[in-house]
Amino acid sequence: MALTLKELKIFKGSALLLSLDVTVKDGEILTVMGPSGSGKSTLLQVIAGHLNTPFSFSGSILIDGTDLASKSPHRRGVGVMFQDALLFEHMTVEQNIMFAMPSGKYQSINKKREAAATLLEAVELGGMQHRAVTSLSGGQQSRISLLRTLAAEPQAVLLDEPFSKLDTALREQIREWTFTQLRERNIPALLVTHDNADAVSAGGQIVELLSC
């Protein structure tokens, strides 16, 4: 599964904001860096299908050769992880993960619960199913946020500066953990960041955008 941005050009009105022609392979993390206003967030919106005026684009966004342009956001198979965990505070850890699971895949609620427990065990958070997400530490919330993203079985993942609000020590730990999960699952990912350490840790291609 590869994410390809083929001759992608993004415009703000009639002005060209950015141009990309790149393929992100299975398990690879492409890092996009640049100053505010260079189009990083707009790029994520284009891929996820949330672009609004005055922005527009030309070119193709492909996952495994399939063009996403005609697909609605919820059918693109693209997961997004933001700066904030954005967990549902009225739900437990288990319910947050189960919420993202594809409808129709699991035959019963118990099968969903088993799948959620397996995900939690895999990242050393076993036994936390019934915890309120508000009782978790920042690092735990970040991990649950990624687990929820992975539970949706995305074909690609967008990372919108997801580590920027973590302290230095925790940032390094969660960053390495996140990248490991993506690589082990062979999911192509696109990381937007201001931090050079994020880019080095990602280990993939780096694209630096210029200020418009």
Please check whether residues 54 and 2 belong to one and the same domain.
Answer: yes
Residue type, 207: V
Would you state the structure tokens that stand for residue 53, as one six-digit string? Answer: 């005026």
Residue 115, domain extent: 87-153
The domain that holds 22 is classified in CATH as 3.40.50.300
Helix axes 93-100 and 138-151, enclosed angle (nearest 10): 30
Q: Any bridge partners for residue 190, and if so which?
A: 30, 158
Please check whether residues 32 and 124 belong to one and the same domain.
Answer: no
Tens of each residue's pLDDT in the chain, 212 residues: 899 999 999 999 999 999 999 999 999 999 999 888 888 989 999 999 999 989 999 999 999 999 998 899 989 999 999 888 889 999 999 999 999 998 888 878 999 999 999 989 887 889 999 999 999 988 889 889 989 999 999 999 999 988 888 888 888 888 998 999 999 999 999 999 988 999 999 999 999 987 65
Question: Would you say how long the chain is, in residues?
Answer: 212
Beta carbons of 132 and 150 less than 8 angstroms apart = no
User: Does residue 82 belong to any structural domain of this protein?
Assistant: no
What's this model's pTM, rounded to 2 decimal places? 0.90
The domain boundary residue, chosen from 153, 176, 196: 153
Please check whether residues 140 and 40 belong to one and the same domain.
Answer: no
Cβ atoms within 10 Å of 110's Cβ, excluding its own:
9
Please check whether residues 72 and 159 belong to one and the same domain.
Answer: yes
The domain boundary residue, chosen from 136, 153, 170: 153
